[in-house]
Amino acid sequence: MRIEILEDKNQKFPIQHHHIHFNVPESKIPEIQAWYSKVFGARPGMRGQNKAADLPGANLTFSSTDMPTVTTKGRVLDHIGFDVKNLEAFCKKLEASGIKLDRPYTKNPQTGTALAFIYDPWGTYIELNERPNPL
Protein backbone atom coordinates (compact mmCIF):
# COMPACT_ATOMS: atom_id res chain seq x y z
CA MET A 1 0.00 0.00 0.00
CA ARG A 2 1.19 3.51 -0.79
CA ILE A 3 -0.05 6.63 0.95
CA GLU A 4 0.46 9.98 -0.71
CA ILE A 5 0.63 13.03 1.56
CA LEU A 6 0.16 16.46 0.01
CA GLU A 7 0.69 19.88 1.50
CA ASP A 8 -1.97 22.50 0.85
CA LYS A 9 -1.16 25.71 2.70
CA ASN A 10 -4.67 27.03 1.96
CA GLN A 11 -6.65 24.20 3.56
CA LYS A 12 -9.04 25.15 6.35
CA PHE A 13 -8.44 22.13 8.62
CA PRO A 14 -5.29 20.57 10.15
CA ILE A 15 -5.94 17.32 8.25
CA GLN A 16 -8.05 16.95 5.16
CA HIS A 17 -8.69 14.26 2.55
CA HIS A 18 -7.81 15.22 -1.01
CA HIS A 19 -8.03 12.23 -3.33
CA ILE A 20 -7.90 8.47 -3.67
CA HIS A 21 -6.43 6.50 -6.57
CA PHE A 22 -8.31 3.64 -8.18
CA ASN A 23 -6.02 1.41 -10.24
CA VAL A 24 -7.88 -0.47 -12.96
CA PRO A 25 -7.05 -1.70 -16.48
CA GLU A 26 -6.94 1.24 -18.90
CA SER A 27 -9.94 -0.09 -20.85
CA LYS A 28 -12.05 0.08 -17.63
CA ILE A 29 -11.26 3.70 -16.74
CA PRO A 30 -14.23 5.18 -18.66
CA GLU A 31 -16.51 2.60 -16.99
CA ILE A 32 -15.34 3.29 -13.43
CA GLN A 33 -15.58 7.05 -14.00
CA ALA A 34 -19.14 6.63 -15.35
CA TRP A 35 -20.13 4.29 -12.48
CA TYR A 36 -19.11 6.74 -9.74
CA SER A 37 -20.81 9.54 -11.65
CA LYS A 38 -24.04 7.56 -12.00
CA VAL A 39 -24.16 6.02 -8.51
CA PHE A 40 -22.81 8.90 -6.40
CA GLY A 41 -23.32 11.91 -8.65
CA ALA A 42 -19.57 12.49 -8.97
CA ARG A 43 -18.64 15.14 -11.53
CA PRO A 44 -16.41 13.59 -14.23
CA GLY A 45 -13.25 15.44 -15.15
CA MET A 46 -9.50 15.21 -15.13
CA ARG A 47 -6.83 15.43 -12.42
CA GLY A 48 -3.58 16.06 -14.19
CA GLN A 49 -3.29 13.42 -16.89
CA ASN A 50 -5.76 11.05 -15.21
CA LYS A 51 -9.50 10.77 -15.63
CA ALA A 52 -11.19 11.62 -12.36
CA ALA A 53 -14.51 12.29 -10.68
CA ASP A 54 -15.18 14.86 -7.97
CA LEU A 55 -17.45 14.56 -4.96
CA PRO A 56 -17.80 17.14 -2.20
CA GLY A 57 -14.56 16.86 -0.21
CA ALA A 58 -12.99 14.12 -2.35
CA ASN A 59 -11.41 13.54 -5.72
CA LEU A 60 -11.49 10.04 -7.20
CA THR A 61 -8.50 9.59 -9.53
CA PHE A 62 -8.54 6.67 -11.97
CA SER A 63 -5.12 5.31 -12.96
CA SER A 64 -4.16 2.50 -15.32
CA THR A 65 -2.57 -0.72 -14.11
CA ASP A 66 -1.58 -4.02 -15.71
CA MET A 67 -2.12 -5.80 -12.39
CA PRO A 68 -5.34 -7.77 -11.85
CA THR A 69 -8.02 -5.88 -9.92
CA VAL A 70 -8.85 -7.44 -6.53
CA THR A 71 -11.20 -6.53 -3.70
CA THR A 72 -10.12 -4.13 -0.98
CA LYS A 73 -12.02 -6.04 1.72
CA GLY A 74 -9.63 -7.76 4.10
CA ARG A 75 -6.57 -5.90 2.82
CA VAL A 76 -4.47 -3.12 4.34
CA LEU A 77 -7.05 -0.59 3.14
CA ASP A 78 -10.25 -2.53 3.76
CA HIS A 79 -12.76 0.02 2.51
CA ILE A 80 -13.57 3.60 1.68
CA GLY A 81 -16.60 5.47 2.99
CA PHE A 82 -19.00 8.22 2.02
CA ASP A 83 -21.51 10.21 4.05
CA VAL A 84 -24.95 10.04 2.45
CA LYS A 85 -28.04 12.10 3.24
CA ASN A 86 -31.22 10.00 3.55
CA LEU A 87 -29.31 6.74 3.38
CA GLU A 88 -32.41 4.56 3.51
CA ALA A 89 -33.78 6.11 0.29
CA PHE A 90 -30.33 5.97 -1.29
CA CYS A 91 -30.07 2.24 -0.51
CA LYS A 92 -33.48 1.62 -2.08
CA LYS A 93 -32.31 3.48 -5.19
CA LEU A 94 -29.12 1.37 -5.31
CA GLU A 95 -31.10 -1.87 -5.04
CA ALA A 96 -33.59 -0.72 -7.70
CA SER A 97 -30.64 -0.13 -10.04
CA GLY A 98 -29.31 -3.67 -9.43
CA ILE A 99 -26.61 -2.87 -6.87
CA LYS A 100 -26.62 -5.47 -4.10
CA LEU A 101 -26.10 -4.30 -0.52
CA ASP A 102 -23.36 -6.38 1.10
CA ARG A 103 -24.57 -5.17 4.49
CA PRO A 104 -28.16 -3.94 4.47
CA TYR A 105 -29.27 -0.53 5.66
CA THR A 106 -29.03 -0.54 9.45
CA LYS A 107 -30.12 2.34 11.65
CA ASN A 108 -28.95 2.80 15.23
CA PRO A 109 -31.90 4.45 17.02
CA GLN A 110 -29.74 5.42 20.01
CA THR A 111 -27.28 7.50 17.98
CA GLY A 112 -29.39 8.37 14.93
CA THR A 113 -26.67 7.01 12.68
CA ALA A 114 -27.17 4.51 9.88
CA LEU A 115 -24.88 2.52 7.62
CA ALA A 116 -24.76 0.07 4.75
CA PHE A 117 -21.99 -1.49 2.64
CA ILE A 118 -21.68 -2.14 -1.10
CA TYR A 119 -18.96 -3.09 -3.56
CA ASP A 120 -18.17 -1.24 -6.74
CA PRO A 121 -17.82 -3.51 -9.81
CA TRP A 122 -14.00 -3.49 -9.39
CA GLY A 123 -14.04 -4.80 -5.81
CA THR A 124 -13.74 -1.61 -3.78
CA TYR A 125 -15.64 -2.14 -0.52
CA ILE A 126 -17.66 1.00 0.25
CA GLU A 127 -19.18 2.03 3.59
CA LEU A 128 -22.19 4.33 3.33
CA ASN A 129 -22.90 6.43 6.43
CA GLU A 130 -25.66 8.71 7.55
CA ARG A 131 -24.75 10.74 10.60
CA PRO A 132 -26.85 13.41 12.29
CA ASN A 133 -23.75 15.62 12.58
CA PRO A 134 -21.33 14.66 9.79
CA LEU A 135 -17.74 15.84 10.06
We report the CATH number of the domain holding residue 101 as 3.10.180.10
11 in a structural domain? no
Same domain? For 34 and 79 the reply is no
* Total domain count, the chain: 2
Q: What is the pLDDT of residues 49-97, one digit of tens each?
A: 999 999 998 999 999 999 988 888 999 889 999 999 999 999 999 999 9
Half-sphere exposure of 79 (CA within 13 A, CB side): 15
Q: From CA 74, how far away is CA 105, in angstroms rounded?
A: 21
Domain that holds residue 56: 17-66
DSSP one-letter code for 26? G
Find out whether 40 and 30 touch, Cβ atoms under 8 Å.
Answer: no
Question: Do 43 and 88 belong to one domain?
Answer: no
Q: Rounded to two decimals, what is the model's pTM?
A: 0.88
- Beta carbons within 8 Å of 56's beta carbon, 6+ residues apart: none
- State pLDDT tens for residues 107-118: 999 999 999 999
